[in-house]
Structure 1
């Protein structure tokens, strides 16, 4: 049975456009890059929206900035607290630094060092959470809630938040403008999914224009399960994964509501293919992608038949990866190195 909608009226194009205008002077317009290899694979056209080149290395900066801009004066004075495995943490820290709003962040103790250092670099106070019960994200969330009460600070959710979803939708709005400039259509839009703010925001822009896909990694396909059941479902999280930014076990309530109303489809990929996708990003496009940021590339590599003869846009959502981990991914499977020339 489908859950009762959270939104009787979804955020519209005007709302998203106004949000984009608010944050536009702070964000980078990230490039749209053609992948010859993936285009040949589907006998169509594949374009990659490189949000890995965004300020702080991920799309999360957009939603964080819009959220802070819309705090009231008292909330700005008291500051904010949030939990994050990394990319939202850096985005929120950078937004707080720009707007001079104090930011405290609870991060899982096993978050990549690069992501912890990013958040600290932008001036946030980082508190590490060592608990993993009932999951690393939920433990960090509980800790952030307690700290917000202690410090009388505004508690922010990294993805299940109306204004953050609207802010993330600016990725798709910007993309839409780039496609219009190139006089290109989009048949499929593929978005990496952890909690779902990117795919929810993107579907608000591309609904009735393209088929929007939520791409998750095996073991953490909460959105995929939820879309199939029409209600919020929980993944088991039993499969080890390098996709640390996509380890939410279930989608946000608001995010799922939007994706159900906009008819988003779900697809799941395995970690081995994700590593191949990271290598494709580097070898062909000179993009440094973290595994979480490359899952949409992996979706095409695993399922080319779904996109045959179509124009597909991939959002490469993040590029924050520890150098050692990145080097090991690039150097692994040398005997099966992905060929980008045919």
Structure 2
């Protein structure tokens, strides 16, 4: 492979998102779009929640994983699939492997939520735990890929994954019509960049806004400075957004198609979770509550708007969530 090919990845387009939607038809759940009269009155806006917490395996990640794995050749499928993830991508690849009859191996941090590790194993994957303080998941995965000859499906920086993730926003916009703003959580940027591609195609005037925790603000700093910034093992409760940096595919897409980035406090995330659990009666993990936290922190900025929010997932450890709500776990 030439140096130029390495430095200039082929970026997915809105057409790729539409193609992924056809590939996922009848496979991924068409998740519901929910509203809250209480929230609308509080904000003076109309808010539409795309509930990917109700997606297969409990998160939007299924869309990208299935789209990417389904495009592998028969030879590649026979060698098996490898992935690394703190939880949701792990479960998504494992479930996809079970559905397509493909052997899967997942590299997960030893401190990943127990519920996510157990679910990944439950879908039939081999789970290899690592110590994120002393080991690199990328290096471990590269070693396994070399030894086993498996195909690596990264959690976000992979064109077919990004295209699949964008189908959630595509469905949302097809149901709601044009929106003034669309908010999505941002870890590695797969969901955000895919959502931005969908919005550019179906709602050109829509301002796409990425949201991440203050404690894991690398994407916001990258967006502001124009160069990729990093963060190492941020102590945020939003475990799905602890990604160290945006990728070679997601960073240019976000710079080109995202209007703004915002950050939210840990306490703000807990309060957004509390609202979703108690007022809307849906189980949402901390990462999935991050966009609502941004709305609640600055309601005046969105007054009079039609706003879409992608709730990324609902795979939460119930004991930890209850401890957060009870104030037994300290947050910044």
Cα distance in 1 between the residues matched to 2:57 and 2:63:
10
**Worse-matched range after superposition: 206-215 or 71-80:** 206-215
Q: Would you say the 8 A contact 1:82–1:141 is kept in 2?
A: no
Structure 1 segments, 4+ long, off by >6 Å, are: none
Q: How many residues in Structure 1 have an aligned counterpart in Structure 2?
A: 320
Contact 1:106–1:129, Cα closer than 8 Å, also in 2: yes
Please list every run of 5 or more consecutive structure 2 residues that lacks an aligned counterpart in the other structure. Answer: 1-5
Q: Residue 205 of structure 1 corresponds to which residue in structure 2?
A: 198
Residue 231 (structure 1) aligns with: 227
Following superposition, the deviation at residue 293 of structure 1 comes to 1.0
- Hey, what does 2:114 align to over in structure 1? 113
Separation of aligned partners in 1, 2:13 and 2:245: 25
1:329 equivalent among 312, 319, 324:
324
How far has the Cα of 1:16 moved from its partner? 1.7
Q: Secondary structure at the match of 1:224?
A: helix
Please give the TM-score of this superposition, normalised by the length of structure 1. Answer: 0.89
1:308 is the counterpart of 2:303 = yes
Q: Is 1:156 equivalent to 2:157 in the alignment?
A: no
CA deviation after TM superposition for structure 1 residue 5, in Å: 8.9
In the alignment, which residue of structure 2 is the partner of 1:140?
137
Q: For 1:162-197, what per-residue CA distance to the aligned partner results, in whole angstroms no more than 9, with x for missing partners?
A: 1100111111111111113xxxx3111000111000
Between the aligned partners of 1:223 and 1:263, the Cα distance in structure 2 is 11
Task: Give me the whole-angstrom Cα distance separating, in 2, the residues matched to 1:141 and 1:305.
Answer: 42
Which of 280, 284, 288 is matched with 2:279 structurally?
284
Deviation of 1:330 (Å): 3.1
Distance 2:317 2:289 in 1: 15
Which residue of structure 1 lines up, in the alignment, with residue 85 of structure 2?
84
For residue 190 of structure 1, what is the aligned residue in structure 2? 183
Partner of 1:340: none
Residues in 2 aligned to 1:267 and 1:255: alpha-carbon distance in whole angstroms? 17
- For residues 15-65 of structure 1, give each alpha carbon's deviation from its aligned partner in whole angstroms, at most 9, with x where no partner exists: 221211111111111111112233123211111111000000000000000
Give the whole-Å Cα distance in 1 for the aligned partners of 2:233 and 2:255. Answer: 23
Pick which of 207-216 and 92-101 moved more: 207-216
Give the distance between the partners of 1:307 and 1:190, measured in 2 at CA: 11
- RMSD, aligned CA: 1.8
Partner in structure 2 of residue 23 of structure 1: 24
How far has the Cα of 1:14 moved from its partner?
3.0
TM-score scaled by structure 2?
A: 0.92
TM-superposition CA deviations, 1:271-299 (whole Å, max 9, x none): 10101111111111111011111101101
